[in-house]
């Protein structure tokens, strides 16, 4: 009986000793949990609990019996990450963050049974929050590369957090203005964001296309825009840029189709009519080149007829834009140009007629000048809107030459000459 009693006493002594060894760890855990319950209200009680938790966890970390327990590292990561978050001074919060990060990594390594999974995950969130706060400050200070590193840390801990992905991509996009190595980093994050339910992905499609263009990858930009328009057909800036790229890439036929679709969706968007005018005018110019190359009279006549039709379509689109905005300067200039070009073409054709066709010459010349007269209000308005525009002045001079009005043609030439002085 005495032996049994001695063994029971030994077991009791061992249990008490183990409890004493884990006492500081348990105290740190309890104090931290108190802090979690109080911190939303703030105040001295919450601060006191966190301080007590730090004192206890430091002792537990210094005790060889508890120093390498997963719980010790997990609680230390929680305590120190919160201390870092609560400290607004970088020089003092940074060492706290480093200690929390070290403890977090060690806890993840040692917690093979997952007994501290929740604590470790929460510590990671606090570390991410710290880096998020840091990233915001650096971004606001214009230190985009430093902000990127902070946001990327945040993203690595919370890889599916859409704000983390967006902030990381945004800071990289801004950093790329000085260092092109950030282009792929920005592009990768924005591309990833498009696979998530992020609420502003319609804007991300546009921003991603911008990044591709800045990175001189027109094909990738076009692909992104096409996908964006398919998903967000009402997003006008996506449609407009897709049309712009079609024009840049020489895809006038595709551009016309997309413009017509866009106008049907936004009939009061003046910019779409502007793009439509540009597209029809470019098509007319292409037909003119083909007509000049053709050796077959019938084919040449057919192409010239189509050319005139497209110039008329361009003029109609420009006029629609001016109905919406009568002071649309670029449209005014372009409208005058597309109305004047067919007049000049007809004038030149008339001058090339043989003397035997005096009647046809007179009729063509009269018609050409009448067409020029119709363009004059827009030609003059373009000059009035921008008196220093050499192109606008040249168009106006061409009109006066068409009319054989040398006095006004010379007057306009003097204005052109004055621009170079």
- The reply to whether 333 falls in a domain is yes
**Gap between the terminal Cα atoms of the chain:** 120
- The reply to whether 55 falls in a domain is no
Q: Is the pTM above the cut of 0.75?
A: no
| Domain interval for residue 282 | 268-421
| Token reading at 280 | 């029809």
Mean pLDDT (the chain) is 89
What is the pLDDT, as a whole number, of residue 21? Answer: 55
- The reply to whether 89 falls in a domain is no
Distance CA 395, CA 401 (A): 10
pLDDT digits (tens, 9 = 90+) for 4-58: 433 334 334 334 444 455 789 999 999 999 998 888 777 788 889 999 999 999 9
Q: What is the DSSP letter of 63?
A: S
Distance CA 309, CA 315 (A): 10
Q: What is the DSSP letter of 357?
A: G
Specify the higher pLDDT residue, 12 or 224: 224
- The reply to whether 375 falls in a domain is yes
- The reply to whether 138 falls in a domain is no
CATH number at residue 419: 1.25.40.10
pLDDT digits (tens, 9 = 90+) for 162-184: 999 999 999 999 999 999 999 99
- The reply to whether 351 falls in a domain is yes
Specify the higher pLDDT residue, 265 or 270: 270
- The reply to whether 154 falls in a domain is no
What is the pLDDT, as a whole number, of residue 12? Answer: 40
pLDDT digits (tens, 9 = 90+) for 288-316: 888 888 889 899 889 888 999 999 999 99
Give me the number of domains the chain comprises.
Answer: 1
pLDDT at 243 > cutoff 90: no
- The reply to whether 355 falls in a domain is yes
3-state secondary structure of 285: helix
pLDDT digits (tens, 9 = 90+) for 344-368: 999 988 888 888 889 988 999 999 9
């Amino acid at each position: 009986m005495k032996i049994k009693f001695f063994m029971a006493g030994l077991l009791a002594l061992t249990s008490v000793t183990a409890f004493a060894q884990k006492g500081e760890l348990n105290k740190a855990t309890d104090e931290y949990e108190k802090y979690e319950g109080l911190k939303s209200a703030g105040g001295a009680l919450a601060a006191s609990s966190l301080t007590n938790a730090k004192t206890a966890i430091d002792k537990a970390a210094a005790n060889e019996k508890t120093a390498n327990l997963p719980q010790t590292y997990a609680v230390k990561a929680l305590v120190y990450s919160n201390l870092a978050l609560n400290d607004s001074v970088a020089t003092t919060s940074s060492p706290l963050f480093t200690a929390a990060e070290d403890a977090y990594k060690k806890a993840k390594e040692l917690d093979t049974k997952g007994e501290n999974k929740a604590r470790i995950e929460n510590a990671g969130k606090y570390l991410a929050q710290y880096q998020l706060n840091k990233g915001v400050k650096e971004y606001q200070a214009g230190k985009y590369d430093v902000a990127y590193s902070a946001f990327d840390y945040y993203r690595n801990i919370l890889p599916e957090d859409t704000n983390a992905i967006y902030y990381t991509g945004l800071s990289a996009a801004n950093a790329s203005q000085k260092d092109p190595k950030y282009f792929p980093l920005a592009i990768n994050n924005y591309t990833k964001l498009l696979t998530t339910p992020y609420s502003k992905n319609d804007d991300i499609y546009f921003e991603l296309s911008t990044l591709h263009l800045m990175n001189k990858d027109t094909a990738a930009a076009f692909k992104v825009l096409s996908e964006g328009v398919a998903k967000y057909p009402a997003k006008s800036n996506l449609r407009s840029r897709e049309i712009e790229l079609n024009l840049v890439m020489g895809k006038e036929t595709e551009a016309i189709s997309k413009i017509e679709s866009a106008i049907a969706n936004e009939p009061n968007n003046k910019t779409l009519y502007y793009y439509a005018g540009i597209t029809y005018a470019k098509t007319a110019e292409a037909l003119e080149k083909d007509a000049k190359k053709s050796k077959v009279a019938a084919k040449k006549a057919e192409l010239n007829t189509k050319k005139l039709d497209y110039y008329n379509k361009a003029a109609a689109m420009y006029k629609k834009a001016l109905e919406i905005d009568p002071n649309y300067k670029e449209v005014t200039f372009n409208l005058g140009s597309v109305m004047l070009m067919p007049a000049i073409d007809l004038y030149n054709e008339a001058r090339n007629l043989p003397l035997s066709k005096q009647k046809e010459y007179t009729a063509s010349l009269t018609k050409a000048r009448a067409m020029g007269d119709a363009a004059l209000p827009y030609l003059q308005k373009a000059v009035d809107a921008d008196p220093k525009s050499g192109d606008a002045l040249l168009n106006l001079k061409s009109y006066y030459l068409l009319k054989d009005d040398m006095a006004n043609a010379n007057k306009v030439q003097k204005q052109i000459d004055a621009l170079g002085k």
